[in-house]
Amino acid sequence: MGMTITEKILASRAGRAEIRPGDLVSVPVDVILANDITGPLAIHEFRKIGVEKVCDPAKVILVPDHFAPNKDIKAAEQCRILRDFAREQGLTHYFEVGRMGIEHALLPEKGLVVPGDVIIGADSHTCTYGALGAFSTGIGSTDLAAAMAIGEIWFKVPESMRFEFTGTLPEWVGGKDLILNTIGRIGVDGARYRAMEFTGPALRALLMDDRFTMANMAIEAGAKSGIFHVDEFTLAYVEERATRPYRVFSSDEDAAYVETHTIDAGGLEPQVAFPHSPANVRPVSEGRGIEIEQVVIGSCTNGRLSDLRIAAGLLAGRTVHPRVRTMVIPATQEIYLQAMSEGLLRVFVEAGAAVSTPTCGPCLGGHMGVLAEGERCVATTNRNFLGRMGHPSSEIYLAGPAVAAASAVLGRIAHPGEVAA
C-alpha cells in the first residue's frame, strides 16, 4: 500500500522506508518558530534544561508580531526577552519591528520554509506552510524548548483526510470560502489529529495566497496539519524565494485515507462563519441585514497582497459606512510597500479606513481593534470564539476580503456583488 504526502515527508525525515498512521517517529526539524507570546515561555524552559546553545542558530526563528509594536509595558518586556535571546544565541533570523511581519506570512515570503520541510512553531497556525507541500504544525512552548535544544521532535503519524474540490470557482469565492465551507461541513473536531490533504481541479485556479489561507485554517477543524501538493504555481513561488534546497513529495495513487470528501466549489457563494465558532458557517446571503461596527482586513489568514487588492477593488471610489471602523493590516513590510506602490493604501485611506504596520493585534483581541460590549465585527481573521476580539458580548463574523470590504461600505454583512454592481 502506498503512502500519503504527509507520511512520505515524515518517513523520509525519520530515515524509514515506510510508516503508517499511529506510528511514533522522531524526526529532525527544519524550522523552529516562536513569537512574542509563546517565545518567552519556550526560552524560560530552554534555560531550565541547562543547554547553553540552541541546536542551530539558522533554524530557530523569532518573530515579535502578536503584541508588537509593543502595546504596553508587559508586551515590551515580552519582546525584549526575544530580542536578548536572539542576540545571545546569534540567531540568523530575528525580525524586529520595522522589518518584521506576521510570522506565517513572513516566513514563506523570505524563503525560509520550502517543500518537504518539517516545521514546528509555538503557534497553532504554523500549519500555514502546508500550502508549500511541507509538514508543518503547531506545538506547545515546552516542546519547542526541547526542539531548540536538540533539533528533533517526535510525532504520532497522523491519519490523512482527502478533500477534493471540483467545479469552477464562482466570482468572489476564494480560498477563505472553501476552507470555511469545509470546516462548516466537518466541524471544529472533524479532522482532530489528522492531516487535511487538499486537492482537486478547483484548486488549480487558486493563487498561493489562497492556498496559504486554506492551510492556515486547518487547525480550526482540529487538524494536525493541512497540506497541498506541489504544482507549477508552487514551484514558481518557491524558486523565486527559496534560501536552501528542497524536496517535493506527493501521495501515491493507492495511499490510504481515513475519509474522503468531495466538495463542489462551483455551487458556493461567499461564506461567513457566524459567532461563536469557525464551524458555524452559512452563505453570506443568510447574513444580509446584520449591522456591524467594525471590519478588520488582515491577519496571517488574509493579509496578503491579493487580499488587499480584492478589498481595494471594492473600496475604490467609495467610503466606509460612517458607523463602521475599518482597519487594514498588510501582513508584512514587503506587502505594505507593494500595496503602497500600487496605490492600494491611498484607496484605503481615502475610503476612510485606518492602515496599520504589520501586527496580529486585533485578531486575538490584543490591540488595534478591541471590541466593546455588544459590537459586531466582520474580520478576515481565523477565529471567532466568544470574547476573542474583546468584550464577551461582542460578535465576530469570519469572511474573506471581498465580503469584509463590501460590509465596510454598507455597514452590514453584504455580498460583494451588492457593492460591485
List Cβ neighbours of 225 (8 Å cut-off, separation of 6 or more). 6, 127, 130, 135, 136, 137, 158, 195, 196, 215, 218
User: Position 331: which residue type?
Assistant: A
Q: How many residues does the chain have?
A: 421
pLDDT value at residue 79? 96
30-74 pLDDT, tens digit per residue, is: 999 999 999 999 999 999 999 999 999 999 999 999 999 999 999
The per-residue DSSP string of 155-203 comes to EEPPEEEEEEEES-PPTT--HHHHHHHHHHHH-TTTTTTEEEEEESGGG
Q: 244 pLDDT exceeds 90?
A: yes
Domain assignment present for 4: no
116 and 200 both lie in a single domain: no
Helix (H) or strand (E) holding 349: helix 344-351
The confidence score (pLDDT) of residue 318 equals: 98
Q: What grid cell was written down for 129?
A: 506552510
The confidence score (pLDDT) of residue 414 equals 97
| 9 inside domain | no
Q: What pLDDT is recorded for position 294? A: 98
Domain boundary among 157, 187, 210: 157
Mean pLDDT of the chain: 97
Residue 205, pLDDT > 90, answer no
Place of cell 455588544: 374
Residue 191 lies in a domain: yes
Task: Determine, yes or no, domain membership for 210.
Answer: yes
Give the CATH number, domain containing residue 293.
3.30.499.10
> pLDDT tens digit string along 8-21?
999 999 999 999 99
Amino acid at position 421, single letter = A
The dihedral built from the CA positions of residue 191, 163, 258 and 22, taken in this order, carries a sign that is negative
d(CA 375, CA 394): 5
Q: Which domain holds residue 101?
A: 24-157
Quote the CA–CA distance of 408 and 296 in Å, as a whole number: 9
The C-alpha cell that represents 71 in the structure block: 502595546
> pLDDT value at position 263?
97
DSSP string, 280-339: -EEEGGGTTT-B-SEEEE-HHHH-SHHHHHHHHHHHTT----TT-EEEE--SBHHHHHHH
262 and 132 housed in the same domain: no
End-to-end CA distance of the chain: 52
What percentage of the chain exceeds 90 in pLDDT?
98
Is there a single domain that holds both residue 153 and residue 203?
no
Q: Are residues 393 and 310 in the same domain?
A: yes
Q: Are residues 281 and 350 in the same domain?
A: yes
Same domain (yes/no): 289, 414: yes
Q: Can you give the pLDDT at residue 1? A: 82
Q: In angstroms, how far is CA 53 from the centroid of its own chain?
A: 30
> How far is Cα 246 from Cα 240, in angstroms, rounded to an integer?
13
Mean pLDDT to the nearest integer, 180-187: 98
Flag whether pLDDT at 421 surpasses 80. no
Q: What is the pLDDT of residues 321-359, one digit of tens each?
A: 999 999 999 999 999 999 999 999 999 999 999 999 999
Question: What pLDDT digit, counting tens, does each position of 122-153 carry?
Answer: 999 999 999 999 999 999 999 999 999 999 99
Same domain, 166 and 123: no
What pLDDT does 228 receive? 98
Both 290 and 368 in one domain: the answer is: yes
Instruction: Mark which of 130, 157, 184 sits at the end of a domain.
Output: 157
Buried b (16+ CB within 10 A) or exposed e, 239-251: eeebeeebebbeb
Does residue 187 form part of some domain?
yes
pLDDT at 420 over 90: no
Q: Are residues 166 and 150 in the same domain?
A: no
- Please tell me whether residues 192 and 113 are part of one structural domain: no
pLDDT score for 274: 98
Asked if the structure places residue 140 within a domain, the reply is yes
Express each pLDDT in 273-286 by its tens digit. Answer: 999 999 999 999 99
Map residue 93 onto helix, strand or coil.
strand
Domain end point (choices 105, 136, 157): 157
CA torsion sign, 400 to 360 to 63 to 39?
negative
In a domain? residue 194:
yes
- The CATH number of residue 210's host domain is 3.40.1060.10
Same domain, yes or no, for 31 and 65?
Answer: yes
Task: Give percent above pLDDT 70 in the chain.
Answer: 100
Instruction: Classify residue 124: in a domain, yes or no.
Output: yes
Same domain, 139 and 261: no
Neighbour-count burial of 338, counting CB atoms closer than 10 A to its CB (0-12 exposed, 13-18 middle, 19+ buried)? middle
Domain total of the chain: 3
State the pTM of this model.
Answer: 0.96
Query: Residue 180 in contact with residue 278, Cβ under 8 Å?
Result: yes
Contact 310, 401 (CB under 8 A): yes
